Amino acid sequence: MDDKYIFITGGDRGIGRSIALRFAHGGFKVVYSYHRNLDAARETLRMIHDIGGEGFYIRMDVSDLDSVARGYKEVSKKVPYLNVLVNNAGVLSVGRIDDISIEEWNRVIGVNLTGVFLVTKTFLPLLRRAPWASIINIASIAGQTGNVVASTLYSASKAGVIGFTRRLAVELGPEGIRVNAVAPSFVETDMVREYIDTPEKRERIKNLHPLRDIAKPEDVAEAVYFLATPTSRFITGQVIGINGGRLTC
């Protein structure tokens, strides 16, 4: 069992793409899902091939049980096990509670929280077959503090991911499966750039962080790689902040 396999939800762009490339560099065979952007999924695979990596993608809606079940069936036909599962797929929500409809609530909770549950539960058999296994959930600083731009809805979804991570680490620890999360602050992705659309906003966001900068997707990918691999063998149930020191002030 020398081969190493990873499955990433939402691996077609942004943080997910950076994670895919980091693990390809580390010798993993990379499997990832996309939801709508097929061109981005193809581009990620091209980039993996360009660095000598191997992998493939599937289409999957993490909030839909039938879609997740089909995704599992497709992946399990092509890989014997998974060493790493990264629950990365997510959607952003901003604004005050008065602006949140029940439809928006269900959509964001469905992707950000229910999706983590559905994918983890469905793909767990592949993790249990591996010689070693790790689950990394992409949470957010919004799940740790209310002093952020994101809405109460987004904060609730990511706080749920943190609680899910900590409890699941207790459940799966005796099986040797570690479960951790990373909690980024603002990261240079398309999703965030839609919000930071002026130099003034960008400077204001930078100044929220003691390091006076905004994280790059590669910063998140490096933390995920460390937590996912046996180098961090005695770390589980933890939430690692990738926030430029923001929670310290």
For the residues of 104-122, what is the DSSP string, one character each?
Answer: HHHHHHIIIIIHHHHHHHH
pLDDT at residue 199 in the model: 79
- Could you give phi then psi for residue 131, rounded to 5 degrees? -65, -30
Distances 51 to 26, 38, 133 between C-alpha atoms, Å: 11, 21, 24
179: three-class secondary structure by DSSP:
strand
pLDDT at residue 139 in the model: 97
The model carries a pTM of 0.94
Does the domain formed by 5-238 have CATH 3.40.50.720? yes
pLDDT at residue 195 in the model: 67
Active site residue 154: yes
Per-residue tokens: 12: 């077609």
Whether the Cβ atoms of residue 93 and residue 153 lie closer than 8 Å to each other: yes
The pLDDT averaged over each successive group of 10 residues in the chain (249 residues) is 93 96 98 97 98 98 98 98 98 90 97 98 98 97 81 94 98 98 86 72 79 88 97 97 78
Answer positive or negative: Cα dihedral of 63, 65, 67, 70: positive
CA atoms of 83 and 237, how far apart (whole Å)? 17
Q: Which residue has the tokens 């900068």?
A: 213
33: three-class secondary structure by DSSP:
strand
CA atoms of 193 and 86, how far apart (whole Å)? 23
Question: Where would I find the beta strands (DSSP E) of 26-83?
Answer: 29-34, 54-59
Per-residue tokens: 226: 């460390």
pLDDT at residue 212 in the model: 84
pLDDT at residue 16 in the model: 97
Catalytic site residue from 5, 34, 154, 225? 154
pLDDT at residue 202 in the model: 78
